[in-house]
Amino acid sequence: MKTIAFIPARGGSQSIPRKNIKPLCGKPLIYWTVAALAGAAAIDEIIVATDDDEIAAVVAAFGFPQTKIYRRRPENATATASTESVMLEYLEQSDLADDDIFILAQATAPLTQTRDFVGALQWRQEKAFDSLISCVRDYRFFWNEDGSAKNYDYRARPRRQDFGGQLMENGAFYIYTVGGIKRDNNRLGGKIGIYEMPAWTAPEIDESDDWIILEQLMRKYVCPAPRGKIKLFLSDVDGVLTDGGMYYSENGDELKKFNTRDGIAFELLRAAGIKVGIITSENRELVARRAQKLRLDYAVQGARDGGKLAAAQKICAELGITLAETAFVGDEINDRELLGTVGHPFCPRDAAPEIKSIDGITVVERNGGEGVIRAITEML
């Protein structure tokens, strides 16, 4: 049984032109949904259904291996076409089984995070729901046009803490089986379950004012601004300073390819008064020689099993600074702990999906070994 995520992303948005690829917190809007899905190990494929060449190119550049582009038909990419129409169009030509799980995820709900998708899939399985919808709890009082109260007794107005509120769709995602969607021609059906999300995930991006609100919420909950001026800059080696390849000579000597532009970058960082160093789980003489040539302040090798975070904390203690004033560049799951702790996390474009989905991380538009550190200095 496969689990497929499906993101409709047409190019003809009317309320906010080019909405799906307009930058939100420094990344295209659609990035946030794709990255959150890519971080969920249970999701096998992410299908972005678009009619737009630029959207397709932008999504492909994210580098998430699970992502595929589906070219939707023009008649199902109009302002009046329903989401169900493009879902059914895709399912008609796919080889998915009826019991495969289908997640309809919306690019206009960038506050949705990996833990929401993972939690919803688990909740659906545990409770044996046929389909599932994401909702938030709303505590407002509603009225009918005829002047009657809809959801409370105005003569005995309840206190907020005594009022259960109402569940409202937040438009983040819907989960059903492929067979169920085909049978019901709908994103929901059968025994429907509710996955409740935090109240701050309620807004969707439909109008320009929504964009302003979402940007503030994103910076608070998803991509907070870096915490403190950078005083220490640390980097992993394999997959960041190198392309991650393992090269061997005929004599069995291990070789690595470094990018000379990163050498310039470390010089620029030092000139700005920033301490620089590397932290790697490997222990190689050639890495020590490269660190010496780069004139790094710190070169920590053999940092395994949580050792990267401990090494960074030790360096910070020596310098009298905090991790909030530290930048770290990593690409693999053994970098996750440190990346999730420093104030300025970065990763290359071809980093592991679990790394790209870390809250607040900046994905550099270069692969490992292609001058990632130099690109970061340009950004800084």
Q: What is the pLDDT of residues 16-32, one digit of tens each?
A: 888 999 988 878 999 99
Where in the chain are the domains?
A: 3-221, 232-379
Whether the Cβ atoms of residue 242 and residue 263 lie closer than 8 Å to each other: no
Report the pLDDT value the prediction gives residue 16, as an integer from 0 to 100. Answer: 83
- 341 class by beta-carbon count within 10 Å (0-12 exposed, 13-18 middle, 19+ buried): middle
Q: pTM for the complete prediction?
A: 0.62
Spatial separation of the C-alpha atoms in residues 259 and 369, rounded to whole Å: 6
What local confidence, expressed as pLDDT, does residue 286 receive? 81
pLDDT at position 13, please?
77
Structure confidence at residue 263 (pLDDT): 92
CATH of 232-379, one of 3.40.50.10090, 3.40.50.1000, 3.30.70.870, 3.40.50.11540: 3.40.50.1000
Domain 3-221, CATH among 1.10.260.40, 3.30.420.10, 3.90.550.10, 3.30.70.270: 3.90.550.10
> What pLDDT was estimated at residue 7?
98
Alpha helices for 97-231 (secondary structure H): 114-127, 178-184, 208-221
- Rounded-to-integer distance, Cα 256 and Cα 287, Å: 9
Residue 111: predicted pLDDT: 94
Query: Tens digit of pLDDT per residue, the chain (380 long)?
Result: 899 999 999 988 777 888 999 988 878 999 999 999 998 889 999 999 999 999 999 999 988 999 999 999 999 989 889 999 999 999 999 999 999 999 999 999 999 999 899 999 999 999 999 999 999 999 999 999 999 999 999 999 998 778 888 999 999 999 999 999 999 999 999 999 999 999 999 998 888 888 889 988 988 888 765 567 899 999 999 999 998 777 776 776 777 888 889 999 999 999 999 999 999 988 888 888 888 989 999 999 988 766 889 899 999 999 999 888 999 999 999 999 899 889 999 999 999 988 988 878 888 888 999 999 999 998 88
Pure H helices in the chain: 29-38, 53-62, 83-93, 114-127, 178-184, 208-221, 260-271, 285-293, 307-319, 336-339, 353-356, 372-379
Residue 316 tokens, joined: 């910070």
Residue 367 corresponds to which tokens in the numbers above? 């692969």
- Whether 53 and 12 have beta carbons less than 8 Å apart is answered as no
pLDDT of residue 163: 87
| DSSP-assigned states of every residue in 286-346 | HHHHHHHHTT-SEEE----TTHHHHHHHHHHHHHT--GGGEEEE--SGGGHHHHTTSSEEE
Contact between 44 and 64 (Cβ < 8 Å): no
pLDDT of residue 225: 59
Task: Identify the pLDDT of residue 226.
Answer: 56
What span, in angstroms and rounded, lies between the C-alpha atoms of 69 and 7? 10
pLDDT in tens, 71-113: 999 999 898 899 999 999 999 999 999 999 999 999 999 999 9
